[in-house]
């Protein structure tokens, strides 16, 4: 029961923070807001304050801010008379853009604050080592390919042409997601060497590896003065991992690692058992994840709306309504399909 309550609380915090960003920005620029809702579906509770109705709905899988000037707003709220000049479409493009990005900003800000507080509470943090080979596993593909201790990994290229120049050792680990042959450039004694290596799947680590180890991480003391830096460091590290995961998904790898509500519920149970700080970290990770996901340039997401707004400003005209609706419906279909897929994956993992 405790896990379920904390699971709902987790979603409540992340969604409310996100939608509050849109609401506050909209009100700042004078946009009339019909409703601020947590959840979707049937209405459970509502309270009107000034001109906005604040609602709780049955399904805690999202939320929204209904603003005047959005698609179909007059059909949904036919009895409301919106004052002139208070529709979002009445604003200059950059004000609309700020409203569209405000939810993303709030999610990232929440994640940053939690990361800072958690590393401060921990008192120490381990930084990721550089992409330098500290040791080589005997009999591994790396040993066969001719890697040596001290090699600095400069660039990795996959068979499909995708590449990465790792800034830290963990960048290389997240890039290697399958058994496709890698062309790796290393810096050795002032010169560059190019080697070809095919990763193998390690059952214990549950990931593909080439067989090189990094140096030990360096531990740094954290205090109130530097927690803002190291909290940001942790968040940037996680952000890079998330972006790499997104790239992998678009390249057809890593889909099986995605999780939906069922997987998040399981993660909540695990993190709660690990302690309050771990639970806070889960909130930070999911808040950051939501912010990054919403920044994708898909029309149904904030990032897509931002792109459309900028494109309309450059073209000095609105996007054709039929094209807009077509894009929205297509993206909704893709997202619903993705949700069904990840939920099915979560259920399979249960058994």
Across the range 206-214, mean pLDDT stands at 85
Q: What is the pLDDT of residue 27?
A: 96
Query: pLDDT grade, residue 254 (50/70/90)?
Result: low
268-290 pLDDT tens trace = 888 888 888 999 999 999 999 99
Q: What is the pLDDT of residue 86?
A: 93
Q: Give yes or no for residue 82 having a pLDDT over 80.
A: yes
Q: What is the pLDDT of residue 331?
A: 85
Q: What is the pLDDT of residue 129?
A: 86
- Sign of the C-alpha dihedral, residues 7, 10, 16, 21? negative
Q: What is the pLDDT of residue 20?
A: 94
Across the range 293-301, mean pLDDT stands at 89
Query: pLDDT grade, residue 255 (50/70/90)?
Result: low
Give the closest residue to 254 by CA, choosing from 182, 331, 200, 176.
176
Q: Write down the pTM of the prediction.
A: 0.81
Q: Give yes or no for residue 323 having a pLDDT over 90.
A: no
Q: Return the higher-pLDDT residue of 346 and 80.
A: 80
């Amino acid at each position: 029961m405790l896990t379920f309550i904390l699971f709902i609380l987790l979603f409540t915090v992340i969604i409310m923070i996100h939608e509050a960003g849109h609401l506050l920005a909209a009100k700042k620029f004078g946009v009339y807001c019909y409703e601020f809702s947590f959840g979707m579906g049937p209405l459970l509770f509502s309270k009107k304050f000034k001109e906005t109705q604040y609602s709780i709905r049955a399904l805690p899988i999202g939320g929204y801010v209904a603003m005047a000037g959005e698609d179909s707003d007059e059909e949904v709220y036919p009895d409301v008379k919106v004052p002139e000049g208070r529709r979002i479409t009445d604003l200059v493009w950059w004000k609309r853009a700020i409203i569209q990005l405000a939810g993303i900003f709030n999610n990232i800000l929440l994640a940053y604050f939690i990361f800072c507080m958690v590393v401060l509470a921990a008192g120490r943090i381990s930084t990721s080592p550089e992409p330098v080979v500290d040791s080589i596993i005997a009999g591994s593909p790396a040993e066969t390919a001719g890697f040596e201790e001290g090699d600095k990994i400069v660039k990795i290229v996959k068979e499909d042409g995708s590449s990465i120049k790792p800034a830290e050792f963990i960048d290389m680990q997240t890039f290697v997601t399958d058994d496709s042959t890698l062309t790796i450039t290393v810096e050795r004694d002032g010169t560059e060497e190019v080697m070809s290596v095919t990763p193998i799947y390690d059952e214990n680590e549950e990931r593909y590896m080439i067989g090189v180890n990094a140096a030990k991480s360096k531990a740094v003391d954290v205090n109130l003065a530097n927690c803002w830096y190291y909290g940001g460091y942790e968040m940037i590290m996680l952000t890079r991992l998330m972006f790499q995961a997104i790239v992998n998904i678009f390249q057809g790898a890593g889909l099986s690692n995605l999780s939906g509500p069922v997987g998040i519920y399981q993660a909540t149970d695990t993190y709660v058992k690990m302690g309050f700080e771990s639970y806070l970290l889960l909130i930070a990770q999911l808040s950051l994840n939501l912010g990054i996901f919403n920044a994708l340039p898909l029309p149904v997401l904030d990032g897509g709306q931002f792109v459309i707004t900028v494109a309309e400003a450059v073209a000095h005209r609105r996007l054709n309504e039929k094209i807009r609706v077509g894009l929205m419906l297509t993206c909704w279909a893709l997202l619903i399909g993705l949700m069904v897929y990840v939920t099915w994956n979560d259920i399979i993992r249960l058994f």
